[in-house]
Amino acid sequence: MDLWHRATYLFGKRKEGRTVATEAFEELVEDFEFLDDWEDRYRHVIDLGKAMEPLTEELRVPATKVDGCASQVWLHTQFEDGVLHFDGASDAMIVSGLIAVLQKLYNGVPAAEVSAIDARAEMGRLGLNEHLSAQRSNGLTAMIERIRGEAAQQG
């Protein structure tokens, strides 16, 4: 989809009162359409995690740690003019990749609109829901709930 059609698509969905994912997430969906099998998608998620900026040790504190994840996960959220931006880290490569995917889904979204995004449905567009273990799925839910909860406090 070219830029003009993407802008029209995103604007059209917002105009109808539905919140859609960010343009960065839409680009990720397009990338995933070119990946033939789950192993390629899995590797791509891991690569996304490796490409993230590292979370500083000062931000890896109990207040930013996400409970409910099998691995160690930290999410540091910030709101600038009511818009969500977050960074994160994990000691597991696939979880770091899931954090990167969530960044593409949520970063840049106004806090008041975060709850309108159906993260599970959006992840389903990537084919992630059916390929995550129960533990990873629970951890993903915990990360989504943390992001939504912090946005709700701001919005």
Which residues are within 8 A (CB) of 83 and not within 5 positions of it... i.e. 6 or more apart? Answer: 108, 109, 110, 111
Q: The tokens of 54 are what?
A: 């590292």
Asked if 69 is an active-site residue, the reply is yes
Give the Cα separation of 49 and 97 in Å (integer). 4
Of 55, 69, 94, 95, catalytic: 69
Judge contact between 19 and 116, C-beta under 8 A: yes
Instruction: Give dist(CA 99, CA 52) in Å, integer.
Output: 9
In whole angstroms, give the CA distance from residue 68 to residue 49.
20
Provide the annotated active-site residues: 69
